[in-house]
């Protein structure tokens, strides 16, 4: 069976890397080839920036290692069109661009702007727990 393509918002990837929970199960599925994790250079740049926040207490090498890990388990997508669907937080549009270009079935996020959409161009926007429930069924 062909793996389901998903885009994980930066908040999900940060949760994967720093805490254990439903989010880390999603990465496990990507490692096993059961899902295809999609990302873009822009999303990886944002991840690196967020992981450098002082509150996480990570040094540059640890941040680089974490970004490299996500790079290894993901397929890099190069979005061609800029979107401006979410006006409250323009960075959220980068997630949509990656999902559309990569033909993702799901966006997994904890971000209220993205979750409020529920669906965009046939791509469902769900929380990590919901995605895991869908994949089990």
**Domain limits, the chain:** 4-136
Pairing of strands 119-120, 123-126: antiparallel
Report the DSSP beta bridge partners of residue 49.
none
Q: How far apart, in whole angstroms, are the C-alpha atoms of residue 27 and residue 49?
A: 20
Q: What is the model's pLDDT at position 19?
A: 84
Q: What is the model's pLDDT at position 22?
A: 83
- DSSP three-state, residue 35: strand
CA–CA distances in Å: residue 98 to residues 15, 55, 125:
20, 28, 13
Contact of 35 with 6, CB cutoff 8 Å: yes
Q: What is the model's pLDDT at position 23?
A: 85
What is the second-level CATH architecture of the domain 4-136?
3-Layer(aba) Sandwich (3.40)
Q: What is the model's pLDDT at position 118?
A: 96
pLDDT tens across the length of the chain (137 residues): 688 999 999 999 998 888 888 888 888 899 888 899 999 999 999 999 999 999 999 999 999 999 999 999 999 999 999 999 999 989 999 999 999 999 999 999 999 999 999 999 999 999 999 999 998 87
Cα of 126 vs its chain's centroid, Å: 11
């Amino acid at each position: 069976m062909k793996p389901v393509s998903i885009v994980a918002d930066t908040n999900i990837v940060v949760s994967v890397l720093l805490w254990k929970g439903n989010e880390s199960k999603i990465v496990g599925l990507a490692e096993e080839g059961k899902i295809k994790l999609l990302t873009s250079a822009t999303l990886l740049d944002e991840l690196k920036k967020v992981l450098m926040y002082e509150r996480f207490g990570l040094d540059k090498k640890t941040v680089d290692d974490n970004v490299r890990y996500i790079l290894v388990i993901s397929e890099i997508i190069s979005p061609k069109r800029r979107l401006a669907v979410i006006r409250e937080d323009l960075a959220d549009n980068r997630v949509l661009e990656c999902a559309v270009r990569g033909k993702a079935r799901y966006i997994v996020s904890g971000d209220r702007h993205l979750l409020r959409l529920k669906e965009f161009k046939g791509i469902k926007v769900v929380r990590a727990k919901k995605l895991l429930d869908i994949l089990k069924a």
